[in-house]
């Protein structure tokens, strides 16, 4: 039985609810890892998604950040925040999903943007990634299926953006940022897109400015990192690009992994 897990930065679930419901219906994933829900927990539109058969866990925050996991299967335990990292942002939620073929641990991650470089914002970005690496290293010891999915705010390769020269001064493309992402992979994790496809110039984000969407000037910053046990069961990865062309679209699109 296939299991579909999707990651999507919705850029405000309340502002884009009709669009989100349409995308959910069309993608038909079993588990959604959402970022930038931009609302406190009581304001999350639970009824609309419960009507679609989802169990819901949120870690919200007023106006900014916020992450959520929605699952068609029972959610058995939930962790809010990266263990060992003390900060006030709602950027990480982790759940154990009671999937039919056995439990899978899923996390929704919204890593700090980090701009401008040379400031405490960039320092916090690297600190966040370091705490995440320590946590994922501890998870690997359990030898279980897990998927850490979401907006990492990292452009891993030069071919993951339209024009590297545009991004040289940006926190998403700094050598330290890309090294922090590689450090996660060096633990033994796999980037689902790289395993299933790895084609150049396939993007998950297009800015609202300067006709980026119309010109296909995008970047790939939304990733699913898999434990070896999850990577062994990966069948395919799809970037649901159609979502960016919808009315009131998020500037990100879902990236969806299918497992057997």
Catalytic positions are 110, 151, 252
Residue environment code for 199-223, b if the CB has 16+ CB neighbours within 10 A, otherwise e: eeebbbbbeeeeebbeeebbbbbbb
Sheet architecture: strand order including 190-191: 75-80, 92-97, 104-110, 146-151, 222-226, 190-191
CA angle, 214 then 215 then 217, to 5°:
115
Q: Say how far residue 198 (Cα) sits from the centre of its chain.
A: 17
Q: Which of 203, 230, 258, 228 is nearest to 31 (CA)?
A: 258
CB-CB contact of 243 with 249 (8 Å): yes
| Beta-carbon contacts of residue 127 (< 8 Å; ≥ 6 apart) | 85
Q: To which H or E segment does residue 97 belong?
A: strand 92-97
Residue 86 annotated as binding?
Answer: no
CB-CB contact of 125 with 112 (8 Å): yes
Residue 235 annotated as binding?
Answer: no
Kindly write down the DSSP assignment for every residue of 152-207, as one continuous string: -----SGGGBS-HHHHTTSGGG-HHHHHHHHHHHTTT-EEHHHHHT--SS--SB--
Residue 252 annotated as binding?
Answer: yes
Residue 9 annotated as binding?
Answer: yes
Rounded CA-CA distance 255/144 in Å is: 22
Residue 163 annotated as binding?
Answer: no
Residue 41 annotated as binding?
Answer: no
Annotated binding site: 9, 36, 151, 153, 251-252
Annotated binding site for Mg(2+): 9, 36, 151, 153, 251-252
């Amino acid at each position: 039985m296939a299991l579909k897990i999707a990651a999507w930065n919705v850029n405000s679930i309340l502002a884009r609810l009709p669009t989100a419901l349409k995308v959910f219906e069309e993608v038909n994933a079993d588990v959604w890892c959402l970022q930038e829900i931009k609302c406190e927990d009581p304001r999350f539109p639970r009824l609309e998604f419960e009507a679609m058969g989802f169990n819901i866990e949120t870690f919200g925050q007023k106006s900014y950040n916020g992450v959520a996991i929605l699952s068609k299967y029972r959610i058995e335990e939930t962790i809010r925040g990266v263990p060992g990292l003390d900060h006030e942002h709602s950027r990480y939620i982790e759940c154990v999903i009671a999937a039919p073929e056995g439990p899978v641990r899923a996390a929704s991650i919204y890593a700090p943007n980090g701009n401008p470089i040379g400031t405490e914002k960039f320092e916090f970005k690297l600190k966040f990634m370091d705490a995440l690496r320590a946590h994922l290293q501890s998870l690997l010891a359990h030898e279980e299926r897990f998927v850490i999915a979401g907006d990492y705010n990292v452009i891993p390769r030069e071919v993951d953006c339209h024009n590297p020269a545009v991004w040289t001064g940006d926190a998403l493309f700094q050598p330290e940022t890309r090294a922090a992402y590689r450090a996660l992979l060096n633990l033994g994790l796999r980037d689902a897109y790289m395993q299933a496809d790895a084609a150049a110039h396939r993007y998950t984000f297009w800015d609202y400015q300067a006709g980026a969407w119309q010109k296909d000037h995008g970047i790939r910053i939304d990733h699913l990192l898999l434990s070896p046990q999850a990577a062994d069961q990966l069948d395919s990865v799809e970037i649901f690009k159609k979502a960016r062309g919808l009315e009131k679209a998020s500037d990100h699109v879902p990236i969806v992994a299918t497992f057997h």
